[in-house]
């Protein structure tokens, strides 16, 4: 059925995923009435401002570009990794995700299948119809050309479609590619899954085709369109997609050899070269030595609370969350009240805390300058990012020194308590000296320059592991930039605790890069996927998640590690099960291994 045949059909917004939400204005997007529209109304031939079609596009962002803040029924996705656990003991969704208590029938919040395909369907509707709108509005594309607004709207829709496909692929492997088709209720859709390689090729092809039709940073119309993807966003996404595609789960160590639905048919080390080059292209074109529009923000904390602009050059793509204090009240420490009340949802693990380095960039226990005292004062002289990521006993918060021992002021005894004696600090405003939580702008950062540096370092180092020739200084430089911004001391060799080119060992550097990524991007929905694409989840979860037991004897506080949660990782969980309903109604749909 062509889109012309359905032009005058009413869109069933609830059933087909096209309901405009009146609350959109509260989430950084335009407000829309809750009613049904025809395609002729949305894509009007007389609407030269394209008002309704722009609302339609904004609705795709609003409904399908998710914020990771407490996304899994009040919890961060990282609480299903080894970096955190939920304060809730009553088997919340995130606990079931961590424990593997799900199936093709009993599905959980992160197992988005229909929602992403709804987003793809909406994008296709816009792609097929936007050109009939007689725009008198223009924009400047990445090539510096002035074009009608529909050019970038179509490119944005294609970007979002590619983004949704990648979200599906990293969860399920290869999925059906529907092209530009818009299916309606009653259509007999029996599409088979495309291979993993076909999906990756499609996503990369889309990004390459649309990048110049998007805007480029800095935007001249950023006040209205700062949330929109740019050419830089395309390049950042390309670098991430190719990094995943080169990773062991899909390339070197597939879950099921020869199964092209969940990985490549054979290993190819050249995929690491492609990933490294994609990241390098973005760095060279738009980093400090290129156009200079991208760089690391000076203040690590402010990456997540400052709106796009010259004072935050790190942001590449983000999801506006609005001006509120929800992050603080959901995750802030227990033991406060009124406008300082916190629920303490996200409890970082000792596993995460011990990954943070000492101030000289060395591991705890390996520094010759700073003595690590795990019993008496484990937080002294640590990587400054620790205090910006984790609240611990003795942290300053809300003009108070936190007492997080069980039964302490900020970890009271009872049904609700921090199971690790830690709370999350990241994403929140600096409340060390303030007495109350205040409404503030929050952003869910999807792509940032810091990740691009990490992607480049990882991919380039893997090229070396595979036997390729690289410049070790390139890898070291990427990590130095992050450590320098973090406040790590340069040391006598000005190498910020990293190996020199003369002492460089690619295998050792792999562990350093992975740990740096864990620290730098904690709680940004990276760790959960990283331990999967690296094929290390079963090894990671051989060990229990740990917290602290804090004991006060006289005037002395002692810290002892305790096990708080354990779960074995079944390798079938590297991919989610495809919904049972999809397998039953589509005879061509093949389920993932062992589901």
Concatenated DSSP letters of 508-570? HHHHHHHHHHHHHTTTSS-HHHHHHHTT-HHHHTTSPEEEEEEEEETTEEEEEEEEEE-----
- Residues 157-163: what's their mean pLDDT? 99
Q: In the predicted model, is pLDDT for residue 484 greater than 60?
A: yes
What pLDDT sits at residue 12?
32
- Residues 94-121: what's their mean pLDDT? 95
433: pLDDT confidence band, cut at 50, 70 and 90?
Answer: confident
Bridge partners for 215 per DSSP: 230
CA 202/CA 245 separation, integer angstroms: 13
35: pLDDT confidence band, cut at 50, 70 and 90?
Answer: very low
Strands 423-424 and 390-391: antiparallel
What pLDDT sits at residue 17?
32
- CATH class for the domain made up of 215-325+442-522: mainly alpha
What pLDDT sits at residue 308?
52
385: pLDDT confidence band, cut at 50, 70 and 90?
Answer: very high
307: pLDDT confidence band, cut at 50, 70 and 90?
Answer: low
CA 210/CA 234 separation, integer angstroms: 8
Residues of the chain with CATH 1.25.40.10: 215-325+442-522
How is residue 438 written in tokens? 């205040």
What pLDDT sits at residue 310?
55
36: pLDDT confidence band, cut at 50, 70 and 90?
Answer: low
- Residues 541-555: what's their mean pLDDT? 93
C-alpha pair distances (Å), 588 with each of 185, 191, 219, 406: 19, 6, 45, 54
Q: In the predicted model, is pLDDT for residue 218 greater than 80?
A: yes
pLDDT tens-digit series, residues 238-261: 999 999 999 999 999 999 999 999
Least confident of 9-13, 356-360, 513-517: 9-13
Least confident of 165-169, 181-185, 577-581: 181-185
- Residues 66-82: what's their mean pLDDT? 95
CATH number (3.40.720, 1.25.40, 1.20.272, 3.10.450) of 1-67+113-195 reads 1.25.40
How is residue 532 written in tokens? 């999967």
- Give the start-end residues of each E strand in 120-249: 138-140, 146-148
> Are the beta carbons of 215 and 223 closer than 8 angstroms?
no
Question: Which three-class secondary structure state does DSSP give residue 501?
Answer: coil
Q: In the predicted model, is pLDDT for residue 9 greater than 70?
A: no
Q: What pTM, to 2 d.p., does this model score?
A: 0.93
The chain-wide mean pLDDT, for the chain, equals 91
Taking each helix axis as running N to C, give the angle between helix 449-465 and helix 506-520, from 0 to 180 degrees, rounded to the nearest 10: 160
Q: Which of 361, 386, 358, 365 is nearest to 490 (CA)?
A: 361
Q: In the predicted model, is pLDDT for residue 301 greater than 50?
A: yes
CA 452/CA 449 separation, integer angstroms: 5
> Are the beta carbons of 413 and 406 closer than 8 angstroms?
yes
> Are the beta carbons of 484 and 496 closer than 8 angstroms?
yes
């Amino acid at each position: 059925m062509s889109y012309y045949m359905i032009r005058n059909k009413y869109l069933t917004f609830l059933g087909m995923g096209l309901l405009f939400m009146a609350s959109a204005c509260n989430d950084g997007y335009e407000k829309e009435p809750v009613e049904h529209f025809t395609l002729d109304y949305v894509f009007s031939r007389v609407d030269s401002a394209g008002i309704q079609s722009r609302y339609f596009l904004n609705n795709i962002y609003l409904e399908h570009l998710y914020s990771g803040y407490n996304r899994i029924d009040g919890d961060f996705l990282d609480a299903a990794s080894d970096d955190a656990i939920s304060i809730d003991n009553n088997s919340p969704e995130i606990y079931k995700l961590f424990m593997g208590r799900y199936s093709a029938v009993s599905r959980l919040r992160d197992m988005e299948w229909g929602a992403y395909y709804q987003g793809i369907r909406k994008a296709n509707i816009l792609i097929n119809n936007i050109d009939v709108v007689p725009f008198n509005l223009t924009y400047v594309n990445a090539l510096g050309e002035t074009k009608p607004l529909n050019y970038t709207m179509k490119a944005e829709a294609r970007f979002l479609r590619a983004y949704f496909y990648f979200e599906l692929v990293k969860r399920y492997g290869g999925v059906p590619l529907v092209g530009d088709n818009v299916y309606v209720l009653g259509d007999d859709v029996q599409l088979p899954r495309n291979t993993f390689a076909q999906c990756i090729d499609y996503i990369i092809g889309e990004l390459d085709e649309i990048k110049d039709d998007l805007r480029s940073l800095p935007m001249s119309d950023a006040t209205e369109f700062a949330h929109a993807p740019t050419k830089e966003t395309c390049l950042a996404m390309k670098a991430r997609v190719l990094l995943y595609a080169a990773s062991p789960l899909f390339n070197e160590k597939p879950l099921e050899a020869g199964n092209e639905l969940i990985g490549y048919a054979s290993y190819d080390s050249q995929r690491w070269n492609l990933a490294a080059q994609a990241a390098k292209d973005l760095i060279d074109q738009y980093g400090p030595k290129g156009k200079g529009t991208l760089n690391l923000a000076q203040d690590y904390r402010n990456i997540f609370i400052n709106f796009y602009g010259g004072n935050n050059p790190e942001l590449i793509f983000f999801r506006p969350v609005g001006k509120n204090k929800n992050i603080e009240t959901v995750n802030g420490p227990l033991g406060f009240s009124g406008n300082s009340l916190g629920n303490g949802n996200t409890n970082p693990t000792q596993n995460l805390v011990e990954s943070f380095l000492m101030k000289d960039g060395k591991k705890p226990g390996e520094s010759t300058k700073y003595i690590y005292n795990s019993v008496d004062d484990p937080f002294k002289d640590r990587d400054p990012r620790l205090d910006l990521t984790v609240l611990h006993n003795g942290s300053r918060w809300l003009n108070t020194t936190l007492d997080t021992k069980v039964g302490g002021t900020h970890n009271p005894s009872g049904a609700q308590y921090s199971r690790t004696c830690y709370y999350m600090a990241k994403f929140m405003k600096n409340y060390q000296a303030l007495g109350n939580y205040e409404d503030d702008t929050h952003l869910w950062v999807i792509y940032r320059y810091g990740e691009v540096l990490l992607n480049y370092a990882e991919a380039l180092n893997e090229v070396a592991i595979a036997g390729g020739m690289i410049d070790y200084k390139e890898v070291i430089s990427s990590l130095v930039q992050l450590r320098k911004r973090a406040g790590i001391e340069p040391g006598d060799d000005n190498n910020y605790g990293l190996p020199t080119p003369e002492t460089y060992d690619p295998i050792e550097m792999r562990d350093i890069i992975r740990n740096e990524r864990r620290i730098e991007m904690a709680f940004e929905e990276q760790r959960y996927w990283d331990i999967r694409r690296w094929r290390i989840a079963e090894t990671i979860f051989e060990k229990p998640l740990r917290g602290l037991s804090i004991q006060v004897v006289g005037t002395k506080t002692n810290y002892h590690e305790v096990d708080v949660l354990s779960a074995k990782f079944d390798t079938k969980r590297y991919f989610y099960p495809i919904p049972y309903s999809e397998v039953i109604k589509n005879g061509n749909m093949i389920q993932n291994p062992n589901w």
